[in-house]
Copies of this chain bind each other. A is one copy, B any other.
Amino acid sequence: MVPHLVPRWPVCLFQWRAACTLGACVPQSAWAGASRTPGPGSPRGAVGTSPLVRRGGSSSSSRAPEVMLTRERYPVQRLPFSVVSEEDLAAFERITPGRVVTDPEELEASNVDWLRTVRGCSKVLLKPRTTEEVSHILRYCHERNLAVNPQGGNTGMVGGSVPVFDEIILSTALMNQVISFHGVSGILVCQAGCILEELSRYVEERDFIMPLDLGAKGSCHIGGNVATNAGGLRFLRYGSLHGTVLGLEVVLADGTVLNCLTSLRKDNTGYDLKQLFIGSEGTLGVITAVSILCPPKPRAVNVAFLGCPGFAEVLQTFSTCKGMLGEILSAFEFMDAECMQLVGHHLGLISPVQESPFYVLIETSGSRAGHDAEKLSSFLEHVLDFGLVTDGTLATDQRRVKMLWALRERITEALSRDGCVYKYDISLPVERLYDLVSDLRARLGPKAKHVVGYGHLGDGNLHLNVTAEAFSASLLGALEPYVYEWTAGQRGSVSAEHGLGFKKKDVLSYSKPPAALQLMQQLKALLDPKGILNPYKTLPARA
């Protein structure tokens, strides 16, 4: 962690470096293919090594080793739901004719999560096309006491999107129609199964962008994004889905359709019910349609990749950049030196800047390229003059912007090639963000291969990852509950953006007091009295 100081160089060099350094350092071939590397599962947060697969979808490669059944790996008891009968299948065939999947091979991809850490044994997957079909399915399941696992793109990180036992999988895959788009207000209304990347393309053709962007955009469904309150890369600028989602249509556990699908920016008529379902991970209702506010498409996007001599300088760079870049700042990401070593070692990516203890990626999005460039230049000059940044490079065209982003986005992939990975997604006050990484590194010593920290610094969101050659109960014991207790000590969140799903439901109490937990249980009981919706997820089992 000794700062690597290099002589300061003038801002005008940025353009030159952008033009020649990056093109050489990152082989074009390395940018293609999957954005994530799921591997065979290990208990709780641990993920192992495996060949590249596309996130979501095709995770059932025949060469991949079989994933252990969740019910065998974890201490979980099946609740007394009914078991799907031949009569049930016949009823489903009447509701969704030709769209009742029972073929085991086809079911496999929906029974296993993309990280290949959890595996259910559902015998049936339904593909409704309309809200009415979802309503019929849930009314039927509610009457029959059949458990249901709503599933979007199956790209979640916490095992929330696949069954734990034999829950019926209710897929939104065929609910993929845009309902309306308003060219003045930028309000998009669409079915829940629309894929985020396709929606992005749709609104970009109309000069808007989606208010969220994720690594999993090629597979994830907007309904799943809303159900998990996805954060991602545009959060710093456009904020939470609690602010940008304007309306939802939701089918409740008993089949009641709750139509709050308004296309209004303001509506103070009664309680804002849609908020209940944002981030409730399909446990309170099934989202069938979404109304969302899209910001105008920025005309200029720039990315700066900078080296910082210490974490204090990363923080000062953040403060400076908030002031000097102001309204055009759209992302502020950071990664530590070990992250860069890993993307170098496993993916062959070479740092575009001098070796540094920390790296920062800053993105600006604005309506006038010249103005944005001037703001960025002044900012870069300032941070260099004050020694907050020791080296940097700038990208303005789309290809190079993507290359710089890949250094940050492909860390997950590099980590999973490094061995067994223990993953934590933590919110902390920014000034303490990296202390957890340093403390953990000291605590673990040679037990861990790597302890790395990176993430959305602008949002106070740390992705803390620990790698080892293989799964070790003693390493896990050194990690947990230490990481959760450390986070709770700072009033942080033990799940910043990934949610709780199946794998993290038992750590909820580190971030929420008993009174909150009790109210959540009461809400679940009110909205889903039989508990058929996504059981074993989000909330800990009641004592």
B367 touches A327 (CB 8 A): yes
Contacts of A267 in B (CB 8 A): 427, 493, 495-496, 511
Alpha-carbon distance between A264 and B183 when the two chains are bound, in angstroms: 34
Would you list which residues of chain A between 239 and 292 have a CB under 8 Å from chain B?
Answer: 239-240, 242-244, 252, 256-260, 262-273, 275-276, 278-280, 284
A513 touches B259 (CB 8 A): yes
Contacts of A351 in B (CB 8 A): none
> Among B272, B496, B516, B523, which residue has its beta carbon within 8 angstroms of that of A526?
B523
Alpha-carbon distance between A460 and B280 when the two chains are bound, in angstroms: 29
> Among B327, B427, B539, which residue has its beta carbon within 8 angstroms of that of A266?
B427
Instruction: Judge if A492 is at the interface, Cβ distance under 8 Å.
Output: yes
Would you list which residues of chain A between 458 and 483 have a CB under 8 Å from chain B?
Answer: 459-461
Instruction: Judge if A543 is at the interface, Cβ distance under 8 Å.
Output: no
> Among B240, B367, B496, B526, which residue has its beta carbon within 8 angstroms of that of A375?
B367
Alpha-carbon distance between A262 and B493 when the two chains are bound, in angstroms: 9
Instruction: Judge if A48 is at the interface, Cβ distance under 8 Å.
Output: no
Instruction: Judge if A429 is at the interface, Cβ distance under 8 Å.
Output: yes
Question: Do A184 and B315 contact each other (CB < 8 Å), given the known contacts A239-B243, A326-B298, A515-B257?
Answer: yes
Instruction: Judge if A538 is at the interface, Cβ distance under 8 Å.
Output: yes
Contacts of A259 in B (CB 8 A): 513, 515-516
Closest to A496 in B: B266
Contacts of A19 in B (CB 8 A): none
> Among B242, B256, B492, B499, which residue has its beta carbon within 8 angstroms of that of A515?
B256
Alpha-carbon distance between A492 and B520 when the two chains are bound, in angstroms: 31
Contacts of A327 in B (CB 8 A): 298, 327-328, 365-367
Closest to A538 in B: B270
A500 touches B366 (CB 8 A): no
Contacts of A298 in B (CB 8 A): 326-327
Would you list which residues of chain A between 319 and 344 have a CB under 8 Å from chain B?
Answer: 319, 322-328
Question: Do A427 and B328 contact each other (CB < 8 Å), given the known contacts A271-B523, A296-B322, A526-B523?
Answer: no
Instruction: Judge if A417 is at the interface, Cβ distance under 8 Å.
Output: no
B271 touches A279 (CB 8 A): yes
Alpha-carbon distance between A199 and B315 when the two chains are bound, in angstroms: 25
Question: Do A493 and B256 contact each other (CB < 8 Å), given the known contacts A239-B243, A243-B244, A296-B326?
Answer: no
B367 touches A497 (CB 8 A): no
Instruction: Judge if A368 is at the interface, Cβ distance under 8 Å.
Output: yes
B516 touches A273 (CB 8 A): yes
Closest to A265 in B: B459
> Among B262, B279, B296, which residue has its beta carbon within 8 angstroms of that of A268?
B279
B371 touches A264 (CB 8 A): no
Instruction: Judge if A405 is at the interface, Cβ distance under 8 Å.
Output: no
Instruction: Judge if A374 is at the interface, Cβ distance under 8 Å.
Output: yes
B182 touches A258 (CB 8 A): no
Among A63-71, A82-90, A227-235, the stretch in contact with B:
A227-235
Alpha-carbon distance between A429 and B268 when the two chains are bound, in angstroms: 16
Instruction: Judge if A431 is at the interface, Cβ distance under 8 Å.
Output: yes
Contacts of A278 in B (CB 8 A): 272, 275
> Among B367, B428, B523, which residue has its beta carbon within 8 angstroms of that of A325?
B367
Instruction: Judge if A498 is at the interface, Cβ distance under 8 Å.
Output: yes
B512 touches A260 (CB 8 A): yes
Instruction: Judge if A174 is at the interface, Cβ distance under 8 Å.
Output: no
Q: For the complex formed, measure the closest distance between the CB of A457 and the CB atoms of chain B, giving whole angstroms.
A: 10
Output the residue of A240, A322, A520, A527 with the most chain B CB within 10 A.
A240
Contacts of A519 in B (CB 8 A): 258, 273, 527
1/0 per residue, CB under 8 A from B, across A413-427: the answer is 000000000000001
Instruction: Judge if A318 is at the interface, Cβ distance under 8 Å.
Output: yes
Alpha-carbon distance between A321 and B401 when the two chains are bound, in angstroms: 27
Q: For the complex formed, measure the closest distance between the CB of A538 and the CB atoms of chain B, giving whole angstroms.
A: 6
Alpha-carbon distance between A219 and B298 when the two chains are bound, in angstroms: 38
Q: For the complex formed, measure the closest distance between the CB of A387 and the CB atoms of chain B, giving whole angstroms.
A: 18
Instruction: Judge if A430 is at the interface, Cβ distance under 8 Å.
Output: yes
Would you list which residues of chain A between 522 and 543 have a CB under 8 Å from chain B?
Answer: 522-523, 526-527, 538-539
A258 touches B515 (CB 8 A): yes
Contacts of A402 in B (CB 8 A): none
Output the residue of A324, A325, A523, A539 with the most chain B CB within 10 A.
A523
Closest to A240 in B: B243
B269 touches A280 (CB 8 A): no
Instruction: Judge if A517 is at the interface, Cβ distance under 8 Å.
Output: yes
A266 touches B235 (CB 8 A): yes
Q: For the complex formed, measure the closest distance between the CB of A294 and the CB atoms of chain B, giving whole angstroms.
A: 11
Alpha-carbon distance between A231 and B508 when the two chains are bound, in angstroms: 32
B268 touches A228 (CB 8 A): yes
Closest to A367 in B: B326
Instruction: Judge if A491 is at the interface, Cβ distance under 8 Å.
Output: yes
What are 6 A-to-B residue pairs whose CB atoms are below 8 Å?
A271-B538, A273-B519, A275-B278, A276-B276, A298-B327, A523-B526
Beyond the given pairs A242-B242, A271-B276, A271-B284, 12 more chain A to chain B contacts, judged by CB atoms under 8 angstroms and listed by A's residue number, are A239-B239, A258-B513, A266-B461, A266-B497, A269-B507, A272-B279, A276-B276, A325-B367, A326-B367, A327-B366, A368-B371, A368-B374
